[in-house]
Structure 1
Amino acid sequence: MDRVIYTAMSAASQTLHQQSITANNLANVSTVGFRAQLTAMKAVPIIGNDRPTRTMVTATTPTFDSQMGTFNYTGRDLDVALAKDHWLAVQLPDGSEAYTRNGAIEIDENGTLKVQGYPLLGDNDVLTVPQGSQVTISSDGTLSALGAGDQPTTIAQVGKIKKVQLERNEIVRGDNGLFQLTQATRDTRGAVMQDNPNTKLMSGVLEGSNVNPVAAMVNLISHSRQFEMQMKEIMTADENAQKANQILSLT
């Protein structure tokens, strides 16, 4: 009887975890370039000194939804969108690379281009532009800057945005919401990806989240029903155990 209780208890716990992931997806329905996180349940036998007669379940997040989000026209020169499976590269505080599809580029007070607060990487290093300049981005990622008060003929190229192509199984989502290379990808392709010159950018456009709010709400309801079912199973197993003890006490 305790096998049923252990299994149902672990399933109820992981259903709550699954529900929190779905709620996080729903909360990011308006986040630029967000990729919905997918979850799955798997059985995990408990291995001990005795025979493996207990099995728990755990919720895993093996991958994410790679479907494209809706493109929204903004008309802003520093907003860019990419084709499927192409990513912008940013620099983390430890100097390593991470990847995002959020194309809402900002320029800080030092002239550094940033995405989500992280420096945007170019084909050589972190991208910077002269302070107060007007910046435009071409389809191949080339940055052109025109200084304040300068003639249009003085516009100059100041760098090129780094664009990398990565398949869904080559990256994993980090706790900061950015994607990083899996260990297998690092072993085969290296820790630093090279710029893909064939990748094209669309300026003045942002890709929205690919989360389907209706499907996310349905999943939340489904998780709630699953949790209730598992709790009812625990109560039923407990009632059966009590009745079995009563019968044993009579004998």
Structure 2
Amino acid sequence: MDRMIYTALTSMNAAMDRQRAVANNLANASTPGFRQELFAVTPATLKDGSIEARAMARGLVRGADLTTARVIPTGRPLDIAVQGNALIALQGPAGEVYSRRGDLSVAASGVLENGDGLPVLGEGGGPISVPAGFSIAVAGDGTILANDPAAPREPAQVLDRIKLVSPEGSQIAKGVDSFLKVPNGGVLPPDPTARVTPGSLEQSNVETAETLVQMIDAQRAFEQRAKIIRTANDLDEASSRLMGLR
């Protein structure tokens, strides 16, 4: 009986974790460049010698779906859609992180940020800074061009180039902050061939209808495990009554 309850309880925990992951995907269905989380449940058995003590279910987010999403034109100069599989390098709280979110803007401090409020890194590895009052645009290779309003006839200045990296052949994970990163503090190599489409944004790759079905399925799985625990309790009470008849 103990084994049945323990197995059902761990399955309920896995179902709850799956619901959290699916809910996060659904909440970001309209977030530009969002990559939906992939959840997996694996069985794990605790053994003592040759005896299987308990079997449990272990659920966790195993990565992100990097499938390219739909790109829509916005006409906004600082909106970019990254082409291919490249990623934008950002300065996270604990190191370099990556995203496909390309709704860029200049913060009050003059630092170029994406829609999540993280500084965009340049090829030198530092945040890209824009001189006060300058207007900027993004070229197809990610180069940031700045124009001084006080000298409109002067050619645009090259400030830096957005650090675009390639995830090919590298291990990347998705953290609880929804950003992609290399495990153990590593960094991805720059991709000099990466291109962007200015004036456009890539949408989230979350399919709303499919995600709603996943949410319902996770809820039903939780309810089924709860029913198993109630059944185990009923069987335990029936066994106690039988023992009392002796």
TM-score by length of structure 1 reads 0.90
Q: Could you tell me whether the CA contact under 8 Å between 2:22 and 2:214 is conserved in 1? A: yes
Pairs aligned (count): 244
CA contact (8 A) 2:34 2:100 kept: yes
* Cα offset, 1:129, TM superposition: 1.9
Which residue of 1 is the match for residue 78 of structure 2? 78
Q: Are positions 1:23 and 2:18 aligned together?
A: no
Give yes or no for contact 1:33–1:207 (8 Å, CA) kept in 2: yes
Q: CA RMSD in A?
A: 1.9
Compute the displacement of 1:246 (Å).
1.7
Q: Which runs of structure 2 are paired with 1:103-142 in the superposition (5 Å)?
A: 103-115=102-114, 116-124=116-124, 125-142=126-143
**Which amino acid in structure 2 is aligned with residue 89 of structure 1?**
A
| Counterpart for residue 210 of structure 1 | 205
CA contact (8 A) 2:44 2:57 kept: yes
* Residue 88, structure 1, aligned to residue 83, structure 2: no
Aligned to 2:152: 151
**Structure 1 residue 107: Cα displacement:** 0.5
Deviations 1:87-114 (A, max 9, x none): 01111244x2111111111101232111
Unaligned runs of 5+ in 1: none
Q: Residues 214-233 of structure 1, C-alpha deviation per residue, up to 9 Å, x if partnerless? A: 01111111111111111111
Query: Among 204, 215, 240, which residue is 1:245 paired with?
Result: 240
Give the equivalent residue in structure 2 for 1:45. Answer: 45
The question of whether the paired residues in 2 share the 8 Å contact of 1:33 and 1:101 is answered with yes
1:144-188 CA-partner distances (Å, limit 9, x unpaired)? 1111232244322111111101048621112322211124xx7xx
Counterpart Cα distance in 2 of 1:228 and 1:93: 38
* Contiguous gaps of at least 5 residues in structure 2: none
Letter in 2 for 1:106: S
Q: How does 1:60-75 map to 2 (within 5 A)?
A: 60-75=60-75
Q: Is the Cα–Cα contact under 8 Å of residues 90 and 97 in structure 2 kept in the other structure?
A: yes
The TM-score with structure 2 as length reference comes to: 0.92
